Chain A
Amino acid sequence: ETGVTQTPRHLVMGMTNKKSLKCEQHLGHNAMYWYKQSAKKPLELMFVYSLEERVENNSVPSRFSPECPNSSHLFLHLHTLQPEDSALYLCASSQDSVGQPSSGYTFGSGTRLTVV
C-alpha cells in the first residue's frame, strides 16, 4: 500500500446511476488530485485540491463532481455518465508548498470504472 487508498477497485454502473469514488490518504499531504487514464491516451488531470480548496478544474463535464471534505479525503461523485467515461480513475496526493517544486505525487491503485 502506498498510503493512498481508493475504493472501490472496480465499479460497473449504468448511465442513469449515481455513484461515488472515494480516496483517502494517510500521509499528511495537503494537496489531492483526480486523474483519468483511458487506454492509449495520456493521463488527464481532472481536479486539484489544495488545503481542501479546489484550485483547478480542467474543463471536466459537470457529470463529474468532486468533493474534498477534509485534507485526508477526496470524493468523485458520478451521475449520468457516458460509455466513453469508462477508464481508470486515479487519485494522488502530495505535500506541496507555494513557490516550491513538487516533491512528487503518491498515487492510489485506482478505480476501474465501466459504464454500460
Chain B
Amino acid sequence: AQSVAQPEDQVNVAEGNPLTVKCTYSVSGNPYLFWYVQYPNRGLQFLLKYITGDNLVKGSYGFEAEFNKSQTSFHLKKPSALVSDSALYFCAVSFLLNDYKLSFGAGTTVTVRA
C-alpha cells in the first residue's frame, strides 16, 4: 500500500508567486515526514523534516512545510518562488511498521517561469 502520495505530477508558477507542492500520507501511528529536492542529474538534497513539535517546519532555501494531522498532509510551501526553484521535489515518510525506512512519493516537477 502506498504510504505517501504526491497528487500533482507537475506544478507551474510564475516567479514571485507562492509555490505549494502537495503531499499526503497514509500510515498509522506517528509519521516522520521529509522533503527532498533534486536538480537535473544530481542526487536528492534534504530540504526539511518533521519529527515532532511545532507543526510548521522551516527548511533550506526559504522553504517551509506544515504538518496537518487531521488532513494527513505535509505540503511544501515557499512564499515567493524563484526560477532557480525549478526542480523535482520528493516527499518521504518514515514510520514504525516500515522499520523506519524512508518511503518516497513519485515526485512533483516544479517549473518556475520568469
Give chain A's interface residues, CB within 8 Å of chain B. 2, 4, 6, 42-43, 45, 48, 56, 88, 90, 92, 96, 99-102, 104-110, 112
Contacts and interface: CB of A to CB of B under 8 A. Distances in A.
B100 A96 contact: yes
A90 B102 CA distance: 14
Contacts of B94: 101-102
Interface majority SS on A: helix, strand, loop or mixed?
loop
Nearest to B90: A43
A105 B36 CA distance: 10
Interface stretch (B13-21, B37-45, B68-76, B78-86): B37-45
A26 to B, nearest CB: 15
A56 B102 CA distance: 13
Given A96-B100, A102-B94, 19 more contacts: A6-B43, A42-B104, A43-B104, A43-B107, A48-B101, A90-B43, A92-B44, A99-B100, A101-B95, A101-B96, A102-B101, A102-B102, A104-B49, A105-B46, A106-B46, A107-B43, A108-B43, A110-B41, A110-B43
A101 B51 CA distance: 8
